């Protein structure tokens, strides 16, 4: 066929000029393929590197978030755990009060929170050391506890408590609380914390030591409040009486109102006329009809009446209280609301 077309295969093959276009085509194809493959390999390499970097970034970002979460949880445990140093530091701040009633108010909430117990009562102890007086109690307390128990009612615990040691009712003595923790001042028993009920796991040494630490903080706060009161007797009380001046009485009333609002304590209040007597002589008569824990105060120093706040008294007790006051020749009047004092 080539012969028919006038072509000579020999000339076509052996003529170098005929090779040149094919060589150029082959060279251009090889160069183009090489460049294409090289670029494609570089792109694949860059993509794999980018993917690896992205995976490393995701790993580091996840690790950072995990470490941050652990750090926050540890910080919360250090500060918020009920038996941590941070928690005790917070408690000491909560109890840093200069009024004894304010210490009792905050001490109960601290005890309920830290001890995980809502069967708690705090008593003050009379100077005679024969009676305890209920200051505050848990609003959810189940037992009908006495407001003024004799210390001799807890004879089995008395020796330990007077030594400043916590009594644990391991023998499950009837009519005894699960724990009695003493609060001392200069070696004298001034108050007691009573946990009336405790679960089985709350009879552990851990729980015992936790109660010891918390009552120690309360003890320090009450001692500090007592020192502050004693150094400010002239500013708080009328001379030679236990009648609070208006500013101190107003502070006490506000604290007692908060106790009533929280349902951890109650009181009744009466106004008592002075009837022309000076305050010292009037107080001599009035003191025969009130208890040590009752609060006497003035709203205005020019007023002719004072006000008596009968702690832990109920309305049903008012008849007896009024009879006791009138028996001393005193004229008194019931006040239904505490705001009546500030009229």
Provide the residue ranges of all domains of the chain, joining segments of one domain with +: 18-78, 98-231, 234-342
- Return the pLDDT at 143: 83
Most confident of 13-17, 25-29, 256-260: 256-260
Mean residue pLDDT of the chain comes to 85
User: Has residue 74 got a pLDDT over 70?
Assistant: no
> Once rounded to an integer, what is the mean pLDDT over residues 177-199?
94
104 touches 111 (CB < 8 A)? no
pLDDT of residue 111: 93
Average pLDDT over residues 98-113: 91
Stretch 114-138: mean pLDDT, rounded? 91
Closest CA to 274 of 301, 311, 253, 250: 301
Q: For strands 132-137 and 120-125, give the pairing.
A: antiparallel
Q: What average pLDDT does the segment 137-160 reach?
A: 91
- 175: tokens are 């009519």
280-301 pLDDT, tens digit per residue, is 999 999 999 998 889 999 988 7
| pLDDT value for 1 | 46
CATH topology of domain 98-231: Beta-Lactamase (3.30.450)
From the number of C-beta atoms within 10 Å of its C-beta (0-12, 13-18, 19+), residue 59 rates as exposed
- CATH of segment(s) 234-342: 3.30.70.270
Instruction: Compute the average pLDDT of residues 165-193.
Output: 94
Q: Dihedral of CA 328/334/339/343: which sign?
A: negative
Cβ neighbors of 131 (< 8 A, separation 6 or more) are: 125, 148, 149, 150, 151
Residue 257 has pLDDT above 80, yes or no: yes
CB 249 within 8 A of CB 235: no
Q: Quick count: other Cβ atoms within 10 Å of Cβ 80?
A: 11
* Region of residue 116 (left: phi > 0; alpha: psi -120 to 50; beta: else): left
> What is the pLDDT at residue 192?
96
pLDDT (average), residues 43-63:
85
pLDDT grade, residue 96 (50/70/90)? confident
């Amino acid at each position: 066929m080539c012969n028919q077309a006038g072509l000579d295969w020999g000339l076509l093959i052996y003529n170098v000029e005929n090779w040149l276009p094919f060589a150029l085509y082959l060279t251009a194809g090889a160069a183009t393929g090489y460049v294409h493959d090289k670029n494609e390999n570089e792109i694949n390499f860059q993509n794999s590197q980018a993917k690896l970097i992205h995976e490393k970034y995701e790993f580091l970002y996840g690790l950072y978030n995990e470490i941050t979460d652990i750090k926050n949880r540890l910080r919360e445990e250090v500060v918020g755990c009920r038996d941590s140093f941070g928690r005790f530091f917070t408690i000491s701040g909560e109890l840093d009060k200069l009024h004894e009633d304010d210490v009792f108010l905050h001490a109960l909430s601290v005890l309920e929170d830290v001890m995980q117990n809502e069967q708690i009562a705090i008593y003050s102890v009379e100077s005679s050391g024969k009676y305890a007086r209920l200051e505050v109690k848990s609003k959810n307390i189940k037992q009908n506890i006495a407001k003024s128990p004799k210390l001799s009612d807890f004879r089995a615990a008395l020796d330990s408590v007077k030594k400043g040691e916590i009594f644990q009712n391991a023998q499950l003595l009837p009519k005894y609380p699960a724990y009695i923790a003493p609060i001392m001042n200069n070696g004298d028993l001034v108050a007691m914390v009573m946990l009336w009920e405790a679960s089985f796991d709350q009879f552990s040494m851990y729980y015992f030591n936790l109660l010891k630490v918390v009552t120690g903080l309360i003890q320090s706060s009450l001692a500090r409040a007592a020192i502050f009161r004693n150094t400010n007797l002239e500013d708080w009380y009328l001379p030679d009486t236990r009648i609070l001046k208006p500013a101190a009485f107003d502070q006490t009333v506000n604290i007692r109102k908060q106790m009533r609002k929280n349902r951890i304590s109650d009181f009744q209040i009466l106004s008592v006329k002075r009837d022309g007597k000076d305050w010292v002589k009037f107080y001599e008569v009035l003191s025969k009809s009130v208890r040590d824990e009752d609060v006497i105060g003035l709203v205005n120093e020019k007023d002719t009446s004072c006000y008596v706040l009968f702690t832990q008294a109920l309305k049903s007790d008012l008849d007896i209280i009024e009879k006791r006051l009138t028996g001393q020749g005193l004229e008194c009047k019931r006040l239904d609301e505490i705001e009546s004092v500030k009229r």
